[in-house]
Amino acid sequence: MSDRRIFVDYIARTEGDGAIDIVIGPNGEIKKARWEVWEPPRFFEAFLVGRKYDEIPEMVQRICGICPHGHHLAAVRAVERAMGVKVSRQTTLLRELLHYGDWIQSHTLHVYCLAAPDYLGYESVLAMAGNEELLPVVKQALSLKRLGNDMSVLIQGNEIQNRTSVVGGFTAVPSGSELRKIKERLKEAKDFAVATVRLGAKVASQDPYPQLVRKCEHVSLREEGKYPINGGRLVSTEGLNVPDWEYPEWLIEKHVPGCNCKHAIVKGRDSFLVGPLARVNNNFDLLSKDAQAIAKEVGFTVPDFNPFHSIIARGIELVHAIDTAMELIDELGDPVYEEPKYEIKAGEGYAVTEAARGICCHGGRIDKDGVCQKWDIVAPTSRNVYNLEKDFEYFVPKLLNLSDEELTLKCEMMIRNYDPCQSCATHSIKVNLRREA
């Protein structure tokens, strides 16, 4: 008997370029299981060197058009830590509200445009919209995504690239009346978010998904008294519990040949998973009451190690994001402009945010003139690559009875479970920068 090969040179409904290459031996053994990220290195870490401190958050948000907020907010907090900058309560609330808007648009995009077509048997969301029964659902999903984008426009002046969020605060703030209009739209969207959880639970209960469980370490932030989004400690289902600024020491990267993305492990252990499923597993008790209630209603319990349940976790976080965003708007009331004030100082700082698809890490060193001397960027997807390859090794032997076409689809779905952003994940190994006089 000859080897069986599953090869997909371009994975649809993901961001960026990557390939699946799996070789199965005649006895069902996995000889090769690779997720090969071919997206070219972006070299952001190299060209940030020599730039001013306030340019760093502006530039890194251009790494990605889907999760720019995670990169921007991690970088701005890292700069603030390096220079000892303290921000006001209002700034903290506005940043959280901005980031929750990003979660809303990103989770909605993933559930309905990227994942649902797989589970419902359609080639794309456009094909789903061709079904008269599903057309209203698609329209509601696009409306909810628009709401998340509009939250970004209101707070930062743009859907994707920020204009107002800076080191130390904001250059402009929304009015209370504008925020309250957003709150009314959030109220109207709540029922659809709850329905999203029910949809995820329904499709993920279909055969063979309930059997596809692999226990692995789940890593996320955890913040005292509230669900983590813009800070906290790094925790895991295996007992990791360290300050977020220690991520370079505990989350280790290593180069692998033939891939523009590094593999990541927890120090002294193995691969790990980041993202909505990890956050919910580590922070279920901090979800909003309604998010916890709908999770229990559909039978979702923690810890859950089924990667195909990430669609449920995203729905649960949608409910939580809407609930929390409304609370943030109430606390903000009528924001007033506060001029960012701080002194430029030399220092080193690292920070982690929870982008929609998992922990986003930034940090580096700034000199006394505010010039960047080094910068480190680790996006969520690069944390997940090694873990996904282990998923392939574990799950594919359980699905060998499927045709090549069906098995290929299941492998693509495994990747889409992680909602990968392969443009973010590319990570240069070493860059020697020389400036000629």
Q: Which helix H or strand E contains 37, and what residues bound it?
A: strand 30-37
pLDDT value at residue 145:
97
Which residue would you say has higher pLDDT here, 259 or 344? 344
Contact assessment for residue 82 and residue 349, using Cβ atoms and an 8 Å cutoff: yes
Contact assessment for residue 251 and residue 378, using Cβ atoms and an 8 Å cutoff: yes
- List Cβ neighbours of 100 (8 Å cut-off, separation of 6 or more): 151, 229, 321, 324, 325, 328
Q: Which helix H or strand E contains 139, and what residues bound it?
A: helix 135-156
pLDDT value at residue 32:
81
pLDDT value at residue 434:
26
The highest-level CATH class for domain 44-425 is mainly alpha
Query: Would you say residue 427 has pLDDT above 50?
Result: no
pLDDT value at residue 435:
23
pLDDT value at residue 179:
99
Cα–Cα dist 225/3, whole Å: 53
- List Cβ neighbours of 323 (8 Å cut-off, separation of 6 or more): 190, 288, 289, 290, 291
Query: Would you say residue 86 has pLDDT above 80?
Result: yes
Query: Would you say residue 343 has pLDDT above 50?
Result: yes
Q: Which helix H or strand E contains 363, and what residues bound it?
A: strand 358-366
* Mean pLDDT for all residues in the chain: 90
Question: What strands, in cross-sheet order, belong to the sheet with 272-273?
Answer: 241-243, 233-236, 217-222, 272-273
Q: What is the mean pLDDT of residues 380-389?
A: 88
pLDDT value at residue 33:
79
Query: Would you say residue 428 has pLDDT above 60?
Result: no
Task: Answer positive or negative: Cα dihedral of 354, 360, 363, 369.
Answer: negative
Q: What is the mean pLDDT of residues 293-322?
A: 98
pLDDT value at residue 433:
21
Query: Would you say residue 62 has pLDDT above 90?
Result: no
Q: Where are the domains of the chain?
A: 44-425
> What is the pLDDT confidence band of residue 337, given thresholds at 50, 70 and 90?
very high
Residue 398 DSSP class: G
> What is the pLDDT confidence band of residue 18, given thresholds at 50, 70 and 90?
low
Which residue would you say has higher pLDDT here, 235 or 401? 235
Give residue-wise pLDDT tens across range 344-373.
Answer: 999 999 999 999 999 999 999 999 999 999
> What is the pLDDT confidence band of residue 22, given thresholds at 50, 70 and 90?
confident
